[in-house]
Amino acid sequence: MQFCDECGSMMKTEGDKWVCGSCGHETIRDEAKEAAMVTTQGQEQSEIIDVSDAEDTGLPTTNAQCPSCDNDRAYWYMQQIRSADESETRFFVCTECEHKWREDDH
């Protein structure tokens, strides 16, 4: 992929030139430079790994009493669920039974 030196737009190939679709600027194609470019056809397919059942959710944990199973550890995160001038709501997810509850700032 080549970008225009004049306006920064993406350029297209037309024969032996790169041509900017926005401003019309043209440059001569350089085969050595193009060989080093990575294309979507040249990229390898990556393996998708399912981590939905993984124990680590990536969320921080804290001491919090689960109202469902009395476990004392929970993952937590903050989310804005009301208008922007209201404080965020803190959500907890039990590390044992995965029960979810919230704690509003008052």
Could you tell me which residues are annotated as the binding site? Answer: 4, 7, 20, 23, 66, 69, 94, 97
Enumerate the known binding-site residues for Zn(2+). 4, 7, 20, 23, 66, 69, 94, 97
* Burial of 25: CB neighbours in 10 Å, binned 0-12, 13-18, 19+: middle
Helix (H) or strand (E) holding 62: strand 61-63
